[in-house]
Amino acid sequence: MTDQRSVYILLTNTGTLFTKMIRTYTRAPYNHASIAFDRELTELYSFGRKNPYNPIDGGFVREDIRTGTFSRYPNTTCVIYELQVTEREVEKMRRVLNVFIRSREKYLYNLLGIIGVAFKEPVEFSNSYFCSQFVAEILHRSGIKIWNKLPALVTPDDFRQNERLELVYEGRLNEYAYIRAEAQTEEKG
């Protein structure tokens, strides 16, 4: 029996004004990061818009690739990576995640942290994260070290450049959802 499990890192580009501004600076193809505990991305978490229609109100969110913000931007492009971890590491990640879930209302989006990344200076506030900082924090607090930098300096492109992550899919997010739904139907059928 194997102890190996997988978690998934989803990087996206919705094409919103905010991501266009970030992309102008980073030149990276994807500027939003999320973490999922299943290949279908049904259990997906990040820091982003709490309300799909309000880009100002951000914080800890459980995302859905078929509804919410992603449904507002049907041309969202993405890349999905698989990270091999142990069962114990998944348990640790879930414990850390549960702290975020239980206190979801007190978390804010760390907009100043994004500016800090640009200057290579971590800007950290209690209960405040940006998307890639959150994903890196989940990994870091679970003992998974894939960089030699603070979570407050990790960008979505750092995930893309990391050799420990294995590419699963690249393309339009809504097409991935369709492909995974088809695969599940075939597995059942």
Q: Please report which confidence band the pLDDT of residue 132 belongs to, taking 50, 70 and 90 as the band edges.
A: very high
Q: Which residue has the higher pLDDT, 87 or 71?
A: 87
- Mean local confidence (pLDDT), 153-168: 96
Fold category of 4-188 in CATH: endopeptidase fold (from Nostoc punctiforme) (3.90.1720)
pTM for the full predicted model: 0.91
Tell me the mean pLDDT in the region 47-69.
89
Buried b (16+ CB within 10 A) or exposed e, 39-59: bebebbbbbbbbeeeeeeebb
Q: Residue 185 has what pLDDT?
A: 65
Put residue 173 in one of left, alpha, beta given phi > 0 → left and psi -120 to 50 → alpha.
Answer: alpha
The per-residue pLDDT for 17 is 74
Pick the residue with more confidence: 23 or 112?
112
Using pLDDT thresholds of 50, 70 and 90, give the confidence band for residue 181: low
**Residue 118 and residue 115: Cα distance in Å, rounded?**
5
- For the segment 30-45, what is each residue's pLDDT rounded down to a tens digit? 999 999 999 999 999 9
Q: Round to whole Å and give the CA distance between 129 and 114.
A: 9
Check residue 51 and give its pLDDT.
Answer: 86
The C-alpha atoms of residue 115 and residue 124 are separated, in whole angstroms, by 11
Token code pair at residue 105: 């209302």
Q: Which helix (H) or strand (E) holds 18?
A: helix 17-26
Distance, in Å, from the CA atom of 31 to the CA atom of 24, rounded to the nearest integer, reads: 11
Helix or strand (DSSP H, E) at 158: helix 156-161
Q: Is 28 helix (H, G, I), strand (E, B) or coil?
A: coil
Question: What whole-number percentage of the chain has pLDDT above 90?
Answer: 69
What are the beta bridge partners of residue 136? Answer: none
Contact between 129 and 113 under an 8 Å Cβ cutoff? The reply is yes
Please give the structure tokens belonging to residue 20: 């266009």
Please state the domain extents for the chain: 4-188
83 bridge partner residues: 7
1 band by pLDDT with thresholds 50, 70 and 90: very low
